Amino acid sequence: MQNSRKAVIFDIKHYAIHDGPGIRTTVFFKGCPLHCGWCHNPEGINPAPEIFLRSSLCAEDCTTCVVVCPKGALLKPGKSSVVIDRTKCDLCGLCEPACSYGALELVGKEMTVSEIMQEVEKDRIFFEESSGGVTLSGGEPLSDPVFLEPLLGELKSKNIHVVADTSGFFNFEKFSHLLDKIDMFLYDIKIMDSQNHKRYTGRSNDLILENLKRLTRSGKPVAARMPLIADINDSDKNIKETAEFLNQLDNIIRVHLLPYHKGGEAKQKRLGRGESLNDFKAPSEEKIEDIKKMISGYGFSVKIGG
């Protein structure tokens, strides 16, 4: 049965106010086809569950997690933080409840539609009072239309407003029959040059741009979201090409500029992926204002953040 199908969810954020109109519940799906070096949710890239290790919370004299690990994947060298041998870890999750200090966390949990809806129902009163609803995010929330179909059916049967926050890299043909069940899209636009897009995200942007054209032709309202990373996509050339591309489309209701922040770097370390080879930075405040003015000049409503 479709309703017994599960998706891996790495977070459900209650009382979200930056993921669409009103107060929302944001459901974060694990797994993304892009590998953006600046990603602020790197735990959403891998489709499988993973272990977060917060070394600063690990107690010097505690070895409880080492004892309970059935695979010997946890080591405690002296009084330093526990170390994870991720080649041995089978993600059984026994270490998380064993740790009294919150140093270990299993990120990603298989959930059914019913389990997600139980979380959503907790916020129904806020939706009604604020004209809010549910935002599907990630990762890439549109990568599994088989799971989405019953979830969207439940949400719409309860008259809940639905926003999809997407990278744009998905199979439109397999998803198109679900369009009527989504009220609005938040759509990432990163880099217009296809080769540079592939260099920094691992994928060409051809499919992303084509999907955006098809979405806007469908009549669905779209808010374009543009992460801003200094010396990567903040050039006048890229901003102009982005604005000109969006200007050709209908139903772009606004443009959000999202200056880079370093929140993802700490998460990379917790996942054991080490430090990024790139020293990503946000453009200066002056540059961001210039970008806002440039895009506004094409007639768009532009917001910094959100």
For 105-115, write each residue's pLDDT tens digit.
999 999 999 99
Q: What is the pLDDT of residue 193?
A: 97
| Predicted structure pTM score | 0.94
Q: Report pLDDT for 274.
A: 67
- Cβ burial, residue 1 (10 Å; 0-12/13-18/19+): exposed
Answer yes or no: is pLDDT of 278 > 80: no
Is the model's pLDDT at 1 over the cut of 80? no
Mean pLDDT of 171-175: 96
Q: In this model, does residue 277 exceed pLDDT 60?
A: no
Closest listed residue to residue 234, CA positions, set 157, 295, 306: 295
DSSP state of 44: G
Domains of the chain: 2-47+109-304 (3.20.20.70), 50-107 (3.30.70.20)
The enclosing H or E element of 263 equals: helix 263-270
Band (pLDDT 50/70/90 cuts) for residue 262 is: confident
Q: Please state whether 282 falls in left (phi above 0), alpha (psi between -120 and 50) or beta.
A: beta
Spatial contact of 163 and 19, defined as CB atoms under 8 Å apart: yes
Paired tokens of 131: 């004209």
Confidence of residue 306 (pLDDT cuts 50, 70, 90): confident
pLDDT band for position 4 (cuts 50, 70, 90): confident
Count of CB atoms situated within 10 Å of the CB of 196: 15
Which residue reads 């606004």 in tokens?
254
Helices 236-247 and 285-296, axial angle in degrees (round to 10): 30
Mean pLDDT of 206-230: 97
Is the pLDDT at 122 greater than 80? The verdict is yes
> Would you call 151 helix, strand, or coil by DSSP?
helix
Judge contact between 135 and 20, C-beta under 8 A. Answer: yes
First to last CA, the chain: 37
Report the alpha-carbon distance of residue 44 to residue 58 in Å, rounded: 24
Q: In 3-state terms, what secondary structure has residue 108?
A: coil
Which tens digits make up the pLDDT trace of 47-98? 999 999 999 999 998 999 999 999 999 999 887 899 999 999 999 999 999 9
For residue 1, give the amino acid letter. M
Strands 109-112 and 6-16 come out as antiparallel
Would you place residue 276 in the very low, low, confident or very high pLDDT band (cuts 50, 70, 90)?
low
String of DSSP letters for 278-299: S---PPPHHHHHHHHHHHHTTT
The identity of residue 27, as a single letter, is V
Question: Does 152 score more than 80 pLDDT?
Answer: yes
Over residues 188-210, the mean pLDDT reads: 97
What is the model's pLDDT at position 21? 96
pLDDT at 275: 60
Query: Hey, how many other C-beta atoms are within 10 angstroms of the C-beta on 256?
Result: 20
Beta strands in the chain (DSSP E): 6-16, 24-29, 50-53, 74-75, 83-84, 104-107, 109-112, 133-138, 161-166, 184-188, 222-228, 252-259, 302-304
Q: Which helix (H) or strand (E) holds 98?
A: helix 95-98
Is the predicted pLDDT of residue 2 greater than 70, yes or no?
Answer: no
Average pLDDT taken over every residue of the chain: 95
